[in-house]
Structure 1
C-alpha cells in the first residue's frame, strides 16, 4: 500500500515520517521503491516535515513530475 497513487501518471507519492530514517526504514524504503520502479512506477518521497512546512514546493515537485509524464508519448 502506498500513500498516494496517480495511475494516469504512473506516480507514487510517499510521505516519510521518523521511522523511515532508521537504517531498517531506509533499507525497506529503497527495496520497496525498487520494486515499484520495476513495475514502471515513479516514486517521489517527501518528509512529513516538508509537507507541513513547504507544502507549496511539494506541490510544485508533484506538478513537475506529472507534467513530465504527460510529455512522454504513449
Structure 2
C-alpha cells in the first residue's frame, strides 16, 4: 500500500474521532476489530487522500462509512458523492450503511462487508420465489 503524507490537522482529527465514536461506529468496531470479521484487518478513522474514513480494510481496499441522518441532506449528500468518486479513482470500494442499520441489524451489515470483500458468496434467493 502506498503511504501518503497526512497533515497534522487530519492526524489530530482522526485521533479525536477514534476517541469519540458514535454508538453505531462502536458497535461495528466491536465486530471488526482485531481481525474478528473473517480475518479482515480494519483500521478506524483512517486518513486517506485528505479524508478521514470511518473504517478501512487496506488489504482489500475497502472503506466502510457509517452515516447519520445528516447524510440525507442534499449538501452533505453531494459532498459524499465527490468524496466517494475520489476514493474510487484511487481503487477503493466504498460501502455506506445508515447508523440505524448498524444498530438494528449488525449481522447483515457484517455479512454484506464479507461478501464485498470477496470472502463469501452472496446468499441464494429463497426457493419459494423460484418457479419450476
TM-score of the alignment, normalized to the shorter chain, above 0.5: yes
Aligned partner of 2:98 among 20, 30, 47: 47
Provide the aligned C-alpha RMSD in A. 0.9
* Number of positions where the alignment pairs a residue of Structure 1 with one of Structure 2: 68
Aligned counterpart, 1:64: 115
Aligned counterpart, 1:35: 86
Aligned counterpart, 2:26: none
CA deviations 1:19-52 (Å, max 9, x no partner) are 1010001101111000000000000000000000
Q: Give the superposition deviation at 1:66.
A: 1.0
Larger Rg: 2
Larger RCO (alpha carbons 8 Å, 6+ apart): 1
Length-normalised TM-score, structure 1: 0.89
Q: Give the superposition deviation at 1:18.
A: 1.1
**Structure 1 unaligned runs (5+)?**
69-74
Runs of 4+ in 1 over 4 A off after TM superposition: none
SS at match of 1:40: coil
Length-normalised TM-score, structure 2: 0.50
The structure that is helix-richer by fraction is 1
Aligned counterpart, 1:72: none
